[in-house]
Amino acid sequence: ILSLSAIAAFTLAAVGGYFLTDTAVKPIEEAYDKQQQFTADASHELRGPLTAIKASIDIMRRHPERFQEKDNRKVGAIANATEQMTRLVEDLLFLARAEKKTTKSNPEYSSICLNDLLQKLIDLLEPLAAEKNITLNYQVFDEVFVMGNPDQLNRLFSNLIYNALNYTSEKGLVLVRLVQHNQLVKVAIEDTGVGIAEEDLPHVFDRFWRVDKARHNSGGTGLGLSIAQAIAYSHQGKITVKSKLGIGTCFQVSLPILNHKE
């Protein structure tokens, strides 16, 4: 009788535990979805007033003779701050959209040749590399297709390659490598830049996190890696990072390969 009641108690606890977990997770998921929707709506709503501010700034800049020099300088500062805010609003909106739960049958998804996508990005960023005297190399061994949202995948890799160039100094090296591994494609973006300290590595994908906390006006929004991670996850992939301070950093993105070429 004792052992039977023990089994019954255990079963009840297990079943109870299951339901508790299930019912406990639902409101958390709902709260998360609501927060995402709020971020998407708020950033979308902010676009309108920002466009109006930019239009007024444009008019003022076209007629500098109407203002005193010190006022024109202030207009310049307002224009810079507005640019920064626009980037932030656009990044928040992009992040909220990228974090939305998606399925493989997402209508925005199509078959994408990753080699072409990366080659176009490299061509686009080559002048920036040349300007900084950085060697930007691209190594590819196979032609690989993935299923995904082209804008988002473009953004994922441009954020990583742009960061690699941004955090690498003159005469450095940035290497983009694409390899096929079983059913996965692995894209590594490696640089010989400033590197990230070991204690900082767990935070790099956090929103608004930066090694240099003072660099709020640097142009970046501190959302680039959060966006990259959200895109990798929504494409059933993942992103990892290895780094050594003063030596360099390697971000690796793994994505499921699309077997058939459509």
Is residue 220 a contact residue for ligand ADP (CB under 6 A)?
A: yes
Which of 95, 134, 196, 232 binds ligand ADP (CB under 6 A)? It is: 196
Which of 40, 125, 204, 232 binds ligand ADP (CB under 6 A)? It is: 204
CA trace torsion 107, 259, 120, 240 (10° rounding): 90
Long-range contacts of 79-88 (CB under 8 A, 24+ apart): 79/54, 82/50, 82/53, 82/54, 82/57, 84/217, 84/219, 84/221, 85/46, 85/50, 86/50, 86/54, 87/219, 87/221, 88/221, 88/223
Which range, of 69-77, 103-111, 125-133, 206-214, touches ligand ADP by CB under 6 A?
206-214
The residue among 250, 254, 210, 206 whose CA lies nearest residue 227 is: 206
Which of 43, 102, 221, 234 binds ligand ADP (CB under 6 A)? It is: 221
Which of 149, 167, 253, 255 binds ligand ADP (CB under 6 A)? It is: 167
How many residues touch ligand ADP under the rule CB under 6 A: the total is: 21
Nearest to ligand ADP of 239, 258 (CB atom):
239
Is residue 129 a contact residue for ligand ADP (CB under 6 A)?
A: no
Which of 144, 147, 192, 224 binds ligand ADP (CB under 6 A)? It is: 224
Which of 114, 117, 147, 164 binds ligand ADP (CB under 6 A)? It is: 164
Minimal distance in Å, beta carbon 151 to ligand ADP?
18
Which of 149, 158, 163, 229 binds ligand ADP (CB under 6 A)? It is: 163
Minimal distance in Å, beta carbon 167 to ligand ADP?
3
Residues 238, 240: Cα–Cα separation, whole Å: 7
Tokens of 127: 């002048």
Is residue 161 a contact residue for ligand ADP (CB under 6 A)?
A: no
Minimal distance in Å, beta carbon 193 to ligand ADP?
5
Nearest to ligand ADP of 212, 262 (CB atom):
212
Number of neighbouring beta carbons within 10 Å of residue 209: 15
Residues 122, 177: Cα–Cα separation, whole Å: 12
Q: What is the number of the residue whose Cβ is closest to ligand ADP?
A: 220
Is residue 210 a contact residue for ligand ADP (CB under 6 A)?
A: yes
> Which residues have CB under 8 Å from 160's CB, separation 6+?
189, 228, 251, 253
Eight-class DSSP state of 143: -
φ/ψ of residue 160, rounded to 5: -70, -40
Is residue 237 a contact residue for ligand ADP (CB under 6 A)?
A: no
What is the H or E stretch that residue 216 is in?
Answer: none
* Interface residues toward ligand ADP, by CB under 6 A: 159, 163-164, 167, 191, 193-196, 204, 209-212, 220-225, 249
